[in-house]
């Protein structure tokens, strides 16, 4: 059973309402996945204006902060649980022409580790997902819109391909489950070897 709650994750009141709706509908919160993200500002840092910088930070980092602010207390009230924040592979390595996004995703890793330490004694685990490229509609409408674009992104991954959504989903389900009960404060790669270089 699913509940759809339209939410702008860059607006704290929306994130609070989303968390409250989940608890109200299902009686408790057991897990949360902060997965919203995109690149707004492309190009050399000297050419990126303040609005592009702020847009990338708000969507990719501040949204995770808002989620954690409301999810940690809800999970603690339920007796514990797990949160997964999508940091992407650019949360642990650099890449030119997307500096605000890289900065935000590095921030997600640091925020994840800090909150994992704060929440551990409440039974709340917090981890960061370090994912490579994934075959989604968003990918197909951006970097993967052309065969040349797909080939270029595939070449960045030593396994020679991008991930399926199902591969990522199964890893996320494991990290959010009780089977991963000793894993917290970690930045875990599922990236086809991208960050091993």
Residue from 185, 186, 59, 57 nearest 119 by CA: 185
> Which of 33, 66, 101, 171 is flagged as catalytic?
101
Token pair listed for 125: 């685990």
Give residue 11's region: left, alpha or beta (phi > 0; psi -120 to 50): beta
Instruction: Check if 66 is active-site.
Output: no
Across-strand partners of 189? Answer: 130
Distances (CA, A) of 82 to 1, 10, 91, 120: 20, 21, 20, 10
The residues carrying an active-site annotation are 101
């Amino acid at each position: 059973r699913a509940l759809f709650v339209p939410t702008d994750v860059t607006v704290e009141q929306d994130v609070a309402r989303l968390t409250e709706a989940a608890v109200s509908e299902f009686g408790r919160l057991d897990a949360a996945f902060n997965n919203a993200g995109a690149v707004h500002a492309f190009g050399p840092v000297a050419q990126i204006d303040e609005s592009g910088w702020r847009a990338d930070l708000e969507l990719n980092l501040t949204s995770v902060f808002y989620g954690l602010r409301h999810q940690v207390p809800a999970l603690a009230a339920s007796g514990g649980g797990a949160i997964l924040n999508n940091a992407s592979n650019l949360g642990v390595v650099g890449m030119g022409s997307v500096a605000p996004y890289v900065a935000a995703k590095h921030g997600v890793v640091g925020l994840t580790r800090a909150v994992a330490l704060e929440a551990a004694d409440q039974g709340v685990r917090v981890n960061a997902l370090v994912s490579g490229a994934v075959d989604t509609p968003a990918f197909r409408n951006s970097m993967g819109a052309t065969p040349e674009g797909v080939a270029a992104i595939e070449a960045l991954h030593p396994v020679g391909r991008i991930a399926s959504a199902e591969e990522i989903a199964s890893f996320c389900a494991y990290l959010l489950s009780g089977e991963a009960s000793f894993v917290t404060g970690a930045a875990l790669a599922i990236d086809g070897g991208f960050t091993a270089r």
